[in-house]
């Protein structure tokens, strides 16, 4: 379905990303009804349509948020495993989310760097000895335990901001803002100005909340004594981006 170096060619904001061969098909084994399926309750899950025993779509989805509309129609067959080498980095899905659009056409390419089944040693490290032993005894693993393998939960950008990652957040929000500013220019000459303006406004709400959180976090570090000189450029950047957000909000209102 997907190889390292392939792209996720559709990214729907706050929903899911999609990739795989546009014209291909794959052989899928029959899905037994008594086998419990994981629900699409969080971002970072790999999902595919059930298909038939002899034919199925080679397209797959990567959830960016809970997608209950997939439950009963698709099967979770894997999930994004992420580990943070340092506290200053954001979850990879935050960057994927930032390039998504209501149309599904991403603003930038989203490339799969590594994928595939875990090796035996990786599986053991992820599951732990107790879970491995339970599998030998054919004890059913809970959905919560299986979801917990990632070690990191993906949520909103606002909730992911810490004092350690504000610099990376500022970079992400700046890219996100550039995309929205470009979308706003196109919306002015679009046939469905009202709908596009509301879509942009919806994205601006999440962006504004994140920038407010950055402003607060950086203010905590610098304080009135300006103890942390490196935080001052970040604070200026956050305030400048908030001004751009306000300008965009006002321009979208004028499109109604």
Res 91: pLDDT = 84
Res 34: pLDDT = 44
Res 191: pLDDT = 82
Q: What does the pLDDT average to over 72-88?
A: 73
Q: What does the pLDDT average to over 93-122?
A: 85
**Residue 183 in this model has a pLDDT that exceeds 70:** yes
Distance CA 206, CA 216 (A): 16
Query: Predicted confidence band at 252 (pLDDT cuts at 50, 70, 90)?
Result: confident
Determine how β-strand 16-26 pairs with β-strand 56-63: antiparallel
For the chain, the straight-line distance linking the first and the last C-alpha, in angstroms and rounded, comes to 42
Provide the 10 A C-beta neighbour count for residue 12: 20
Question: Which residues have a Cβ under 8 Å from the Cβ of 141 and sit 6 or more positions away?
Answer: 131, 134, 135
The number of CA neighbours under 13 Å toward the Cβ of 77 is 17
**Residue 225 in this model has a pLDDT that exceeds 50:** no
Point out which residues pair with 111 in neighbouring strands. Answer: 7
Query: Predicted confidence band at 154 (pLDDT cuts at 50, 70, 90)?
Result: confident
Q: Reduce the DSSP state of residue 245 to 3 states and report it.
A: helix
Query: 35-49, 104-118, 135-149: lowest mean pLDDT where?
Result: 135-149
Res 241: pLDDT = 96
Res 218: pLDDT = 87
pTM of the model: 0.77
pLDDT tens profile 32-72: 544 457 889 888 899 988 764 445 567 889 999 899 999 98
Evaluated on CA atoms 138, 142, 147, 148, the torsion sign reads negative
- Ordered by where they begin, the domains of the chain are 10-150 (2.40.100), 157-253 (1.20.58)
Q: Residue 71's closest CA among 104, 49, 95?
A: 49
Distance CA 73, CA 47 (A): 10
Pick the most confident of 34-38, 110-114, 143-147. Answer: 110-114
**What is the per-residue DSSP string for 170-232?**
HHHHHHHHHHHHHHHHHHTT-TTHHHHHHHHHHHHHHHHHHHHHHHHHHHHHHTTTT--TTHH
**Residue 160 in this model has a pLDDT that exceeds 70:** yes
Q: Reduce the DSSP state of residue 11 to 3 states and report it.
A: strand
Rounded to 10 degrees, what is the CA torsion of 118, 122, 124, 125? -140
**Residue 92 in this model has a pLDDT that exceeds 60:** yes
Provide the 10 A C-beta neighbour count for residue 213: 20
Question: Which residues have a Cβ under 8 Å from the Cβ of 243 and sit 6 or more positions away?
Answer: none
């Amino acid at each position: 379905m997907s190889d390292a170096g392939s792209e996720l060619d559709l990214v729907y904001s706050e929903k899911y990303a999609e990739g795989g061969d546009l014209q291909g098909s794959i052989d899928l084994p029959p899905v037994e009804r008594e086998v419990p399926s994981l629900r699409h309750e969080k971002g970072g899950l790999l999902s595919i349509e059930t298909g038939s025993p002899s034919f199925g779509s080679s397209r797959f989805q990567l959830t960016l948020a809970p997608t209950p509309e997939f439950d009963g129609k698709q099967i979770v067959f894997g999930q994004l495993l992420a580990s943070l080498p340092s506290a200053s980095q954001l979850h990879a899905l935050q960057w994927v989310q930032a390039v998504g659009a209501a149309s599904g056409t991403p603003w930038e390419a989203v490339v799969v760097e590594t994928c595939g089944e875990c090796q035996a040693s990786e599986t053991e490290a992820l599951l732990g000895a107790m879970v491995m032993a339970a599998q030998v005894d054919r004890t059913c693993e809970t959905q919560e335990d299986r979801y917990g393998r990632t070690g990191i939960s993906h949520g909103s950008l606002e909730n992911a901001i810490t004092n350690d990652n504000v610099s990376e957040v500022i970079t992400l929000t700046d890219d996100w803002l550039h995309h929205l500013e470009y979308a706003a220019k196109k919306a002015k000459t679009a046939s469905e100005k009202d709908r596009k303006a509301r879509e942009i406004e919806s994205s601006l709400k999440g962006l504004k909340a994140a920038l407010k959180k950055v402003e607060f976090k950086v203010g905590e570090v610098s304080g009135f004594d300006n103890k942390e000189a490196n935080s001052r450029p970040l604070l200026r950047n956050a305030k400048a981006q908030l001004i751009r957000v306000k300008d965009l909000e006002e321009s979208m209102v004028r499109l109604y």
